[in-house]
Amino acid sequence: MNNMESPEYMRMSLAAAMTLGFKEGRFYRGATLPCVNLLLTYDEGCVGACSYCGLSRKREGDYPEKSFIRVSWPTYETDDIVDKMLEKKDKLKRVCISMVTNKKAVHDTIDVTERIRAKTNLPISLLITPTLLSREDLVNFKKSGAEMIGVAVDAVTPELFDRHRGKGIKGPHRWEKYWDVTGQALEIFGEDMVGVHLIVGLGETEREMAKTIQKVKDMGARTHLFSFFPEEGSKLEKHSQPPAGQFRRMQFVRFLVDECFSTEGEFVYDENDRVVAFGLNEDELNLLTDLGTPFMTSGCPDEKGEVACNRPYGDSMPGPDIRSFPFWPKKEDVEKIRTELETY
Residue 95 has what pLDDT? Answer: 99
Query: What own/partner pairs with CB < 8 Å and gap ≥ 24 does 20-25 have?
Result: 20/81, 20/84, 20/85, 20/87, 20/88, 21/84, 21/87, 21/88, 22/74, 22/76, 22/84, 23/74
The pLDDT-based confidence of 55 (bands split at 50, 70, 90) is: confident
Predicted TM-score (pTM) of the model is: 0.96
Higher pLDDT, 29 or 69: 29
Pairwise CA distance, residues 324 & 310, whole Å: 8
The predicted-structure confidence for 138-191, as pLDDT tens digits, reads as follows 999 999 999 999 999 999 999 999 999 999 999 999 999 999 999 999 999 999
User: Per CATH, is 9-341 categorized as 3.40.50.300?
Assistant: no
Mean pLDDT of the region 123-138: 99
Pairwise CA distance, residues 295 & 278, whole Å: 15
The predicted-structure confidence for 201-212, as pLDDT tens digits, reads as follows 999 999 999 999
Residue 70 has what pLDDT? Answer: 63
CA distances for 78 relative to 126, 252, 340, angstroms: 16, 38, 42
Residue 258 has what pLDDT? Answer: 99
Stretch among 7-11, 70-74, 313-317 having the lowest mean pLDDT: 70-74
The predicted-structure confidence for 266-311, as pLDDT tens digits, reads as follows 999 999 999 999 999 999 999 999 999 999 999 999 999 999 999 9
Pairwise CA distance, residues 78 & 142, whole Å: 20
Residue 65 has what pLDDT? Answer: 58
The number of residues in the chain equals: 344
Residue 168: exposure state from Cβ atoms within 10 A (0-12, 13-18, ≥19): middle
